[in-house]
Amino acid sequence: MDFVSGMNEQHREYLMEYFGLKEHPPPEVPPVEVPSWQNGMLFPEDLWRQFLKDCDWPAHKFGMKPKDMFTILPRHFNLIAVPLLDLDVFARDVMELSRTSDTKEEFFGHMGERQDQRRKEMMKFWHKAWTHLMLRPELLLKTWEGKHQEMRRAYEFGSFDAITRFLACHLPTEMPELPPLGNPDWEFNREDPEEDPKEDQVPSSPASMVTARTHPDSDRDTMSPVPNRKKDENIERQKEEGP
């Protein structure tokens, strides 16, 4: 008699559940909540005025307003689910916050705070990276050891973190402060000053992977290699055949 078969049904069910051996339908994904400071970018209420002549549609037929094309409808039909962080980076946040929380409610609360912090970190660096790249497009030609690795991470994980990090790796380590291009009202809600991040705020631990990977001199955490789940046969064949 093996160990599992000798257990009672309740213990056996518990172990099957704990180790993920029991099949379950996938859990429902809760609706993604858009933070107030990001609404201006995703659903610009004033944008419809600029494109009113080019975006004529019979809104009245559905009991709607012309601007709903840019506010109401995108919330339902113009969003796609993209991970915020690479899975291994997200796992570090989970391990850290789970050790500092005593209850599930406290743990989820800390995870929500960290999610909002990561969003702000990513959006701020996303805008900074594009500002520099638009003013200095020659930076996109930059090559470095590990560039292919960063491309693989962006392909494997498809996260906002990986894409932003790939862009940021084209920037010089020391970057001058540049005036914003346009009017990035998306960054933080100006009507709520408490939403503004402090410039001297110490990043959470583990630190933002974008900052760590872009600045080699940083004492923050660095990225682990992407799992080689899909072996590139063409590249391997070229290595074997030689130049």
User: What was the pLDDT predicted at 191?
Assistant: 39
Q: Does residue 54 contact residue 81 with C-beta atoms inside 8 Å?
A: no
The pLDDT score that the predictor gives to residue 176 is 54
Q: How far is CA 92 from CA 46, 98, 221, in A?
A: 39, 10, 10
Residue 153 and residue 162 in contact, taking contact as beta carbons nearer than 8 Å: yes
Which two structure tokens, joined as six digits, stand for 68? 């709903």
With respect to residue 8, please indicate whether it lies within any of the assigned structural domains. Answer: no
What is the mean predicted confidence (pLDDT) over 199-214?
40
Q: pLDDT tens digit string along 116-137?
A: 999 998 888 888 888 888 888 8
Q: Are residues 163 and 214 in the same domain?
A: yes
Mean pLDDT is lowest, of 7-16, 64-73, 149-158, for: 7-16
Whole-number pLDDT of residue 94? 97
Q: Report the number of distinct structural domains present in the chain.
A: 2
Residues 112 and 226 reside in one and the same domain = yes
Answer yes or no: is pLDDT of 1 > 70: no
For the segment 138-165, the average pLDDT, to the nearest whole number, is 83
Tokens of 131: 């500002």
Residue 75 has pLDDT above 70, yes or no: yes
* 155 and 185 both lie in a single domain: yes
Where is the domain boundary, 77, 109, 135?
77
DSSP-based three-state secondary structure for 84: coil
pLDDT (average), residues 197-221: 39
| CA–CA dist 165, 169 (Å, integer) | 6
Q: Which of 50-59, 61-70, 191-200 comes out lowest in average pLDDT?
A: 191-200
Containing structural domain, residue 63: 36-77
* 90-113 pLDDT, tens digit each: 999 999 999 999 999 999 999 999
Calculate the dihedral angle through the C-alpha atoms of 147, 149, 150, 156, rounding to the nearest 10 degrees: 150
Q: Closest Cα partner for 165 from 118, 232, 230, 113?
A: 118
Higher pLDDT, 135 or 21: 135
Short-list 178, 196, 199, 179, CA closest to 187: 196
Number of residues that make up the chain: 243
The answer to whether residues 71 and 93 belong to one domain is: no
Residue of 33 and 81 predicted with greater confidence: 81
Q: Give the integer Cα–Cα distance in Å for 15 and 5.
A: 12
| 198 or 98, greater pLDDT | 98
pTM comes to: 0.59
Neighbours of 109 (CB within 10 A): 13
